[in-house]
């Protein structure tokens, strides 16, 4: 996935504003899977801020499952990216 991380980041950030809540949950699950897949920390760090900017507004979504998925995705990104590296 490392060679395609820029493209995946673009797809995720656009999809996280989709009006269908299941798309947003799927994006968050993809972020968690990406972090868990073993992509090198330095690769994730390059895109973490952009992804977080797309994820965090969804923490105010009206569906609780979307909010929980966003928190899980943000938590995975924070765990994968040391402070000051993003």
Domain parsing of the chain, residue ranges: 2-80
| Nearest residue to 12 via CA among 66, 67, 25 | 25
Q: pLDDT in tens for each of the 86 residues of the chain?
A: 788 999 999 999 999 999 999 999 999 999 999 999 988 888 899 999 999 999 999 999 999 999 999 999 999 999 988 776 55
Residue 63 tokens, joined? 């569906």
First to last CA, the chain: 19
Alpha helices in 1-86 (DSSP H): 5-15, 21-36, 41-55, 64-80
* Cα separation values, 19 from 1, 5, 22, 41, 59, Å: 27, 24, 9, 31, 14
């Amino acid at each position: 996935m490392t060679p395609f991380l820029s493209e995946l980041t673009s797809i995720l950030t656009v999809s996280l504003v989709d009006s269908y809540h299941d798309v947003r949950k799927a994006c968050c699950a993809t972020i968690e899977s990406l972090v868990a897949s073993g992509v090198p920390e330095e690769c994730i760090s390059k895109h973490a801020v952009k992804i977080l900017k797309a994820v965090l507004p969804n923490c105010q979504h009206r569906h609780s499952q979307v909010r929980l998925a966003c928190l899980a995705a943000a938590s995975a990104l924070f765990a994968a990216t040391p402070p000051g590296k993003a």
